[in-house]
DNA sequence: AATGAATGAGGCTTCATTCAT
DNA sequence: CATGAATGAAGCCTCATTCAT
């Protein structure tokens, strides 16, 4: 009669991780329209188990976004303390790109329907990036007319760009990050026409 | 004996345009999984009319791609004769961005299933861009390590980036095109890590 | 202002025949689910013209049935005057089979929804066949326990049977008509279990 | 560790049988173009359940054919060992007719698209019938010029013929089987014009 | 708690029929 | 009158979600 909740919880937690991993892999291969059934199969569990852990397919997506955004924010926070602000910003963008490696999951960042929790996380990430950019700007490592919001928006571009290549080398995104990052530098910067968007 | 199909064609042609416009808008808002029913509704026609004009949803997509790619290629060809190679390349990218203005239809460029005609068009555009880039490179207007393929890939980025902004000003993409284009210039260019992809 | 109804009628009549022929061919190739559009195309007219002549696809089918049944009845009537009753009945069944040659259109005879006119025609054919069978029976050319209704029912069997052969020779149905007709003869007849159906 | 899938299977198996029965009835009444929705309704299950059991409408058809052909072949195999070859062949055809009792499902034998498994089954049945006919021929119970293929083709005729009668007595097909079987006997046989088809 | 069977809304496509030209 | 464009109901199939076991 003693609740065996220990092992059960362990199993459940394991299944949760299996599902997140399977979902991410499946989404990466097939896009968001990957079927829940395939995800379940890949995770080696029944379809019903998916819904036990994530009430909705959207919830599952949100959980993945949460992970991504959370991880990224943590990296950003850590890099706020780095010695070289320019290197810190580039490293941050490198972490962002590496996180997706090969896959454009930028649409995950869309989800206005993603629920308040995700929105909050996103805003936190936004503030972190602003701080990183501010530091870099003060160190004259990025042009004066570029904002944190600009960088947030451009953050996904390298992976997105690569998504049009058939069988890209796994780090091709670095090439486009380098180009874009050069565009953010103060050297040889041309004035920017429309002002940066708010928020 | 004169073909009595002028007025009928007028109506049909109008519907065809309505459908293409509706499809483009719907795809831009919802992605390629926008439903044919919604497209038909938006165009103000019955579902069956879509089929009459485009035997398949894929055909509809192909038609849109055809239009985009064709128009863009024409612009590129024209700009090959321009006096200033640097301005020509920038103008080309500006045409590309303006064509979509606010709309990230970059996924249209995916469609490997788009049929041989679309593939051919795409390759033609690719060659045109290569020529534009070659000219610009020779004029020292873009960095030496950037290829036509790079530019083709980056072409969609400004619009894509803007698609994450809630209610963006219609020309916000120009801001990001400016940044990216600055990244393509030779001034202050840092070396690029992975080589450019083939094809 | 003189009504040019003469030539128009001629045209219309021609179209009607074209349509009947096209429909029969199409039905023969594809079955009753052949599309009206295909029939129109085969007849070389517009889809609308089909409906001008036959308010409904079912009407078109009924018209074909009418033709078949009418022709067959006429043949039967003619054969009622033939010298040899046995040969007359066999000839009648041969006409029936040849009329369909290669194609099982027996389902056309189903159509309870075929409208009163078709029903009337069918009954007339039925009476004709009964007379043919009566004469043959009196001449001891068919077994005593076989009725006109039996023969009407068996009439379509040879073509139906052949419809299961992949690429049958055009007169294969004659083989099965011969077998069935032998079954109708008095020689070596075994008693029949359930009585013949009414009507 | 015992597979906990007994009761679930029970439900599922029941539904499978319900579906097969409903499909057979619906096909018999409306032909193969009976709608999956109607079949599901008749079976008292949802539309999706049909798909779960039979991935495709064609699979459903194939399953029915499989059942029919398999059962019939088993009967034929058994009758190969019967003492009286003539009685054995008649009994076989009686089983065939009784299996359908009132239902013309002969179109089921068409399905060239039915998949290789069904084709194989059909060929097996064909060989069984050939053996039955060979034995009967050797015993002088059927005419010398009749082949197994002939019998296979004629097998469905009695039920088909009956399908044109409004409310037929359930065993009316026996009447037409008797007539056709008399046509297969050597007594009073007239020569057959076109040779029997191959395969 | 896990499973997978069942459900039904919704997607794409076809086609008989109507109607403006 | 003929034409073919438009329509919308209906068909097959997919899949997120619920629920009995």
Contact (CB, 8 A) for C182 and D183: yes
Protein CA B48 to sugar C1' F7 (Å): 7
Instruction: Give CA–CA dist C68/C23, Å, rounded.
Output: 13
CA-wise closest residue to C129 among C98, C180, C93: C93
Q: What is the pLDDT of residues D164-181, one digit of tens each?
A: 888 889 999 999 999 999
CA-wise closest residue to C187 among C130, C144, C153: C144
Please, where are the H alpha helices in chain B? 6-30, 36-43, 47-53, 57-79, 85-100, 116-138, 148-155, 157-162, 172-184
Tell me the chain A residues in contact with residue B193 when contact means C-beta distances shorter than 8 Å.
171, 174-175, 178
Residues C190, C140, C130: CA angle, nearest 5 degrees: 90
Contact (CB, 8 A) for A38 and A45: no
Q: What percent of chain D has pLDDT over 90?
A: 67
Q: Which has the higher per-residue pLDDT, B182 or D29?
A: B182
Averaged confidence pLDDT in chain C: 88
> Could you say which residues from 117 to 156 on chain C have a Cβ atom under 8 Å away from some Cβ of chain D?
146, 150, 153-154, 156
Instruction: Classify the C-alpha dihedral D74-D77-D82-D88 as positive or negative.
Output: positive
Q: Please judge whether D192 and C183 are an interchain contact, meaning their C-beta atoms are less than 8 angstroms apart.
A: no
Q: Please judge whether C187 and D192 are an interchain contact, meaning their C-beta atoms are less than 8 angstroms apart.
A: no
Contact (CB, 8 A) for B142 and B186: yes
Contact (CB, 8 A) for C178 and C90: no
Instruction: Give CA–CA dist D17/D25, Å, rounded.
Output: 12
The structure tokens listed for B92 are 């080309």
- Among the partner residues C110, C182, C191, nearest to D189 by beta-carbon distance: C182
pLDDT at residue D12, as a whole number: 87
CA-wise closest residue to B179 among A198, A38, A144: A144
For residue D146, give the 3-state DSSP assignment.
coil
Longest CA pairwise span in chain C (Å) = 73
> Could you say which residues from 6 to 65 on chain D have a Cβ atom under 8 Å away from some Cβ of chain C?
31, 33
**Preferred mutation among C140, C142, C164 to probe D, highest tally of D CBs within 10 A:** C164
For residue B168, give the 3-state DSSP assignment.
coil
Asked whether strand E has any atom less than 7 Å from the CB of D52, the reply is yes
Instruction: Give CA–CA dist C36/C47, Å, rounded.
Output: 7
Q: Which nucleotides of E are covered by protein (CB under 7 A)?
A: 1-21
pLDDT at residue B1, as a whole number: 40
Instruction: Give CA–CA dist A38/A50, Å, rounded.
Output: 11
Longest CA pairwise span in chain A (Å) = 73
The position carrying tokens 């009549």 is: C13
- For residue A199, pLDDT over 80 is answered with no
Q: How confident is the model at residue C180 (pLDDT cuts 50, 70, 90)?
A: very high
Q: How confident is the model at residue A110 (pLDDT cuts 50, 70, 90)?
A: low
Chain A: give the shortest CA distance to residue B63, in Å.
Answer: 19
Instruction: Give CA–CA dist B122/B104, Å, rounded.
Output: 17
Instruction: Give CA–CA dist D180/D198, Å, rounded.
Output: 21
Burial track A95-117 (b if 16+ CB lie within 10 A, e otherwise): bbbbbbebbbbbbbbebeebeee
Burial class (CB in 10 A: 0-12, 13-18, 19+), D151: buried
Q: Collect all residues with Cβ–Cβ distance below 8 Å to C44 and sequence separation of at least 6.
A: C18
- For residue C1, pLDDT over 60 is answered with no
Residues in B 54-73 whose C-beta is less than 7 A from nucleic strand E are: 55-58
| Beta carbons within 10 angstroms of residue D82's beta carbon | 15
CA-wise closest residue to D23 among D66, D83, D79: D66
Gyration radius from chain A CA atoms: 19
The position carrying tokens 């780090």 is: A171
Instruction: Give CA–CA dist D43/D175, Å, rounded.
Output: 32
pLDDT at residue B12, as a whole number: 87
pLDDT at residue C176, as a whole number: 97
Nearest nucleotide to D54 by CA–C1' distance?
F13
pTM metric for this prediction: 0.85
Phi, psi (degrees; rounded to nearest 5) at A144: -70, -25
User: Which chain D residue is nearest to residue C157, measuring alpha carbons?
Assistant: D157
Gyration radius from chain D CA atoms: 19
Q: Residue A90, CB half-sphere, CA atoms under 13 Å: how many?
A: 20
Q: What is the pLDDT of residues D105-125, one digit of tens each?
A: 676 666 566 677 778 888 899
Residues in D 34-63 whose C-beta is less than 7 A from nucleic strand F are: 34-38, 47-48, 51, 55-58
Q: What is the pLDDT of residues D20-46, one digit of tens each?
A: 999 999 998 888 889 999 999 999 999
Chain A: give the shortest CA distance to residue B87, in Å.
Answer: 14
**Preferred mutation among C113, C183, C189 to probe D, highest tally of D CBs within 10 A:** C183
Chain C: give the shortest CA distance to residue D17, in Å.
Answer: 28
pLDDT at residue A8, as a whole number: 58
Subunit partners of chain D (3 or more CB pairs within 8 A): C
């Amino acid at each position: 009669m003693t609740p065996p909740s220990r092992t059960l919880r362990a199993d459940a937690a394991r299944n949760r991780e299996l599902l997140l991993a399977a979902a991410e892999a499946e989404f990466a291969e097939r896009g968001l329209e990957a079927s829940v059934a395939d995800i379940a199969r890949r995770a080696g569990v029944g379809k019903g188990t998916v819904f036990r852990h994530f009430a909705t397919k959207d919830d599952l997506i949100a959980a993945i976004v949460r992970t991504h955004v959370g991880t990224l924010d943590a990296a950003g926070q850590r890099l706020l303390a780095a010695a070289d602000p320019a290197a810190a910003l580039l490293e941050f963008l490198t972490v962002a790109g590496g996180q997706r490696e090969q896959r454009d999951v930028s649409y995950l960042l869309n989800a206005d329907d993603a629920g308040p929790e995700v929105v909050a996380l996103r805003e936190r990430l936004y503030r972190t990036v602003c701080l990183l950019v501010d530091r870099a700007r003060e160190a004259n490592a990025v042009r004066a007319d570029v904002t944190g919001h600009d960088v947030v928006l451009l953050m996904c571009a390298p992976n997105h760009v690569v998504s049009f290549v058939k069988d890209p080398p796994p780090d091709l995104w670095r090439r486009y990050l380098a180009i874009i990052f050069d565009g953010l530098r103060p050297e040889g910067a041309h004035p920017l026409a429309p002002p940066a968007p708010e928020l």
